[in-house]
Amino acid sequence: MRAVIQRVARASVTVDGKKISEIEKGLLILLGIEEADGQEDIKWLSRKICNLRIFNDAQGVMNESLIDIDGGAIVVSQFTLHASTKKGNRPSYIKAAKPDVAVPLYEGFVQQIEADLGKKVGTGIFGADMKVDLLNDGPVTIVFDTKNKE
């Protein structure tokens, strides 16, 4: 499971001209799922993201987590995070999970984030053509891969 998280001042997701998710201060989470991912990946990644101290405290030091600031989150599925660009100029997405595997894992991740944060989070629509608008705060962008936990 791969995630790119961006600390945002605001973010939203629009599908077919309709805004379906919107947050103020918090995290935009782009999530890529591969066939080998499972419940352990979901739990580890959710807890890591929710507790990551990347928000400024009163002294301007990145010392507070998403939980600490009671921030919002939007989770957007993004299979292109598993692109292989080793050969040629056309990315291969062979490692990305097919929808029958990816959708339940995506939904499970959203449920785990909601449980860890204690609140509802925004989402995109799996497989839809989404327009993601964000104001990156910092900028702060961090990449996670659950296969590299150690």
pLDDT tens, 35-71?
Answer: 999 999 999 999 999 999 999 999 999 999 999 999 9
Instruction: Give strand ranges (E) for 65-129.
Output: 72-77, 122-123
Task: Output the pLDDT for position 149.
Answer: 78
Q: How confident is the model at residue 141 (pLDDT cuts 50, 70, 90)?
A: very high
Task: Output the pLDDT for position 94.
Answer: 87
Task: Output the pLDDT for position 44.
Answer: 97
pLDDT tens, 93-138?
Answer: 988 999 999 999 999 999 999 999 999 999 999 989 999 999 999 9
Instruction: For the chain, give every domain's residue range.
Output: 2-144
Strand, helix or coil at 51?
A: helix
Phi, psi (deg, nearest 5) at residue 45:
-65, -45
Active site residues: 78-80
Beta-strand pair 18-23/26-32: unpaired
Q: Taking a C-beta distance cutoff of 8 angstroms, is the pair 26, 19 a contact?
A: no
Dihedral (CA of 112, 76, 1, 48) sign: negative
Arch. (CATH architecture) of 2-144: 3-Layer(bba) Sandwich (3.50)
Task: Report CA-CA distances (Å) from 42 to 9, 20, 37, 47, 117.
Answer: 25, 23, 8, 9, 14
pTM above 0.75, yes or no: yes
Q: How far apart are CA 70 and CA 23, in angstroms?
A: 12
Task: Output the pLDDT for position 3.
Answer: 98
Exposure string for 93-128, b = 16+ CB within 10 A, e = fewer: eebbbeeebbeebbebbbebbeebbeeebbbbeeee
Amino acid at 131: K
pLDDT tens, 16-34?
Answer: 999 999 999 999 999 999 9
Q: Taking a C-beta distance cutoff of 8 angstroms, is the pair 9, 69 a contact?
A: no
